[in-house]
Amino acid sequence: GLLAGFALVILAVVAFSAGSSNPVFRFDWVQFIGENTLPIYCMHVIFTGFCRILLVRLGITSLSLHLLAGTLSGVVIPLLVYAAAQKMRVTQWLGFPLIRRKRELLSQLVSE
């Protein structure tokens, strides 16, 4: 029941943010996560695994805490690493495409 409730809460928040036209209730972070799925996909196992090992070694066995910490570390930390790599201009060295530059180039080509 707890796991299903957790999933339903996430779905409700996403549905509410997608359906809201009020900018105060809009969650642009959902779109941001969707736009950056490649870095999240490539790095989530590393950080989620590290988080799980850390929690087990600390003796934390709560399923809720493992889900919350694993989800946050598997999404937030890869996004932070990717943002830092973009600022340092090393995304190509790490194997990531320059997604933002491609979008800018595409919008320039379409507007011309």
Segment 21-34 mean pLDDT: 65
- Residue 82, burial from CB neighbour count under 10 angstroms (0-12, 13-18, 19+): buried
Residue 60 has what pLDDT? 92
- Report yes or no on whether pTM surpasses 0.95: no
Strands (E) across 1-112 are located at none
DSSP three-state, residue 58: coil
**C-beta of residue 36 within 8 angstroms of C-beta of residue 79:** yes
Contact 78, 42 (CB under 8 A): yes
> For the residues 45-58, what does the mean pLDDT come to?
92
pLDDT of residue 53: 93
Q: Residue 100 — pLDDT band, cuts 50, 70, 90? A: low
